[in-house]
Structures are given as structure tokens and as C-alpha cells.
Structure 1
Amino acid sequence: MFEIERKFSVKSTTFLANAKKSYKITQGYLNSNENRTVRVRIKGDKGFITVKGISSADGLKRFEWEKEIAVEEAEALLLLCEDFIIDKTRYIVLNGDSVFEVDVFEGLNTGLVIAEIELQTTDEHFEKPDWLGDELTGDKRFYNSYLSNHPFANWVD
């Protein structure tokens, strides 16, 4: 029930050449406390509710529990969520033996493109594609729960 994940900025759209599928994601937070989040998501034609715990000090590992729910239930729960809803398109991108999930954000988070890779261990090696930018793992500004309260469009350089 733990996920190990690394997060990166994306510096070009060349990842699209290796995208195997994509789908829309709409998600909101019933609780965005930094110690625990409760997320409601519609991914394609499925609904989910997810509870995540606090990240490890290096940002690589945290508790995650997810349950599929009816889309109608997810739609009703989205109406109860904090602040605003996040919309994005997720691309599943193959790179060698690795699978990256690349999120292209919309709305007030337009301009933000983030790649994630889930790993089996914290020190697992993977090939970094040339479109991958700076590592963002552990930077809480790039957590979706943070973006739901502090949209990218409102960030000041």
C-alpha cells in the first residue's frame, strides 16, 4: 500500500511520439492536508477515491490506498471538493522498459507538464528520456493537492 514515485518536469513534446494511450482526468480534494489527502478522480470512464499519507523525507515514498467507485459517485463527491478542480490529460509513454505517466495540465494549471514514474524500489535504475527535465520529486509545489489550492497560473517568478 505504498507507492514509490519520481517526478520530473518535461522540456519538450517529443514524448508524444512514444505515447501509447491518453485519457482525461478530472480530480478534486476532499482533504488536502499535507499529512494526508483524500482525492476524488474521474479517469476516463472510471471513478476513484484515493487516500495518500505524508511523503518520506526524500519525497520518494508514501502510503496510498485507492478504491474504484462509480462515476456517478465520483461526480457527486467532486461537488464537495475544496477550492477548484484539476483537469489534465494523461499520456502513457513507453521508454525502454519504463512506463512514464505524463500529465498535461489544463485550466489555471495550463503550461505545466509533469512526468512521473512508479518504481519498485527507491534506488531502482531507469533510462531517462531526452524530453525529461529537472527532477521535482519531493517538491510539494508540484503535488496535485498543492496545485488545487495554488494554481500554476498564480505562481510568481
Structure 2
Amino acid sequence: MQDEYDYEGDGGWVMSTEIERKFLVFKEKLPELKGGQHFVQGYLQREPQIRFRLSGDRAVLAIKTLKPDGSRFEFEAEKSFASAEERRTLCELAIVPLIEKTRYSLPHGSLIWEVDVYAGENTGLVTVDVEMPSLDYPLRFPEWVNAEAEITQDPRYFNYNLAQRPFERWQEK
């Protein structure tokens, strides 16, 4: 849900309220995943959270903080061509290990479900996020989403925490 502060373009920024829920998936029911976007993601600060994502030459900085109603304030700034030195420096500045994942966007109904397939020490973890237009928006789940396994509020699955305690190190999966 975007508001009046939007500006998009090369070097543009976007400020919005993010209303998102996160779930585990039934891996065996997932459709064939095509055209994903590979990310390297790191964190520069924990609270408010300052995160960067690198994909090819593109770099996106995001500032996020939780609001009392469960939504999040989000401000993003994008640089469509970040030099190798800029990307390397961001990685060096990260305060926790980097996360790697590939994101696939799958439409279902009127929403886009974003499937994240993690790599590195988080290999084996597959999650899905869905951004909703309002807190009370009724969800219709694709068959491959485990609606009983909502992980929106489970801190183990927060990307910041996955960087510190990767999925491969969990005792119980």
C-alpha cells in the first residue's frame, strides 16, 4: 500500500506501510518456479532495521520498523547501478552474515505471493510472503501454501535472525 510520498525512478525512493504475512510452503505442491531474482541481503542496523539487497548491479536500501498495529513502516531507496566497490563495501559493513535467496513471484487471486528459496547455510528453507492492502484483508490460499504454518511473528524466520542462526543449524526443522 503506497501513499503520497512515492517517487520511483533511477535513484528513487518509496515510503509506504507494509502489511505482510509469511508462511511455510508445501514444497511438493509448489508449481515450477521460473524467472526468479537472486538476492544477497545484509543488515547495517538492527532497530530501526536498515537492510540492503543486492541483485546484479542493483542495490536497494530499506529502513523498516514495526508499527503498533502489526504493519511496518518501510522506506526504500534504490540505485540501479551500484559499482562493484559500492556493493563490496555494503557487504563489508554488514553487522551479521549475509543471506542469499532467490525470489519468485506467483500471482494468485488479486495478490502476488513471493516465494523465497534460501541458499547457503539456509538451504532447505522455502517461505512465502504475501503483501496485503489492509490488515483485515481476507486471504485465499494457493494449495501450496501451508495456511496452518504462519511464521509472520516467529522470530526464528526473521531474515536478520536467519543470518545469525541459519536454518541448517536448527535442531528441530
* Counterpart Cα distance in 1 of 2:67 and 2:31: 30
Deviation at 1:106, TM superposition (A): 0.4
* Aligned-partner SS, 2:19: strand
Q: Which residue of 1 aligns with 2:82?
A: 71
Q: Of the candidates 136, 140, 159, which is equivalent to residue 127 of structure 1?
A: 140
TM-score with structure 1 setting the length: 0.87
TM-score with structure 2 setting the length: 0.80
* Counterpart Cα distance in 1 of 2:122 and 2:91: 18
Deviation at 1:20, TM superposition (A): 6.2
Amino acid at match of 2:164: N
Residues 62-71 or 98-107, more deviating: 62-71
Deviation at 1:147, TM superposition (A): 0.8
Mapped pair 1:51 → 2:63: yes
Question: Gaps (5+ residues) in structure 1?
Answer: none
Deviation at 1:118, TM superposition (A): 0.4
Residues 137-146 or 84-93, more deviating: 137-146
Check 1:85–1:24 CA distance in 2 against 1; reply closer, same or farther (3 A cut): same
Q: Of the candidates 129, 134, 137, which is equivalent to residue 116 of structure 1?
A: 129
Question: Gaps (5+ residues) in structure 2?
Answer: 1-15
Check 1:147–1:56 CA distance in 2 against 1; reply closer, same or farther (3 A cut): farther
Amino acid at match of 2:41: Q
Q: Which residue of 1 aligns with 2:7?
A: none
Give the conservation status (yes or no) of the 8 Å contact 1:45–1:71: yes
Amino acid at match of 1:61: S
**Deviation digits for residues 88-118 of structure 1, max 9, x if unmatched?**
1100111122210000000100111010000
Q: Which has the higher contact order (CA 8 A, sep 6+)?
A: 1
Amino acid at match of 2:48: R
Deviation at 1:63, TM superposition (A): 1.1
Mapped pair 1:23 → 2:37: yes
* Counterpart Cα distance in 2 of 1:66 and 1:102: 21
Mapped pair 1:144 → 2:159: yes
Q: How many residues align structurally?
A: 152
* Counterpart Cα distance in 2 of 1:6 and 1:61: 10
* Counterpart Cα distance in 2 of 1:88 and 1:110: 9
* Aligned-partner SS, 1:125: coil
* Counterpart Cα distance in 2 of 1:29 and 1:52: 11
Q: Identify the structure with the greater strand proportion.
A: 1
CA RMSD of aligned residues (A): 1.8
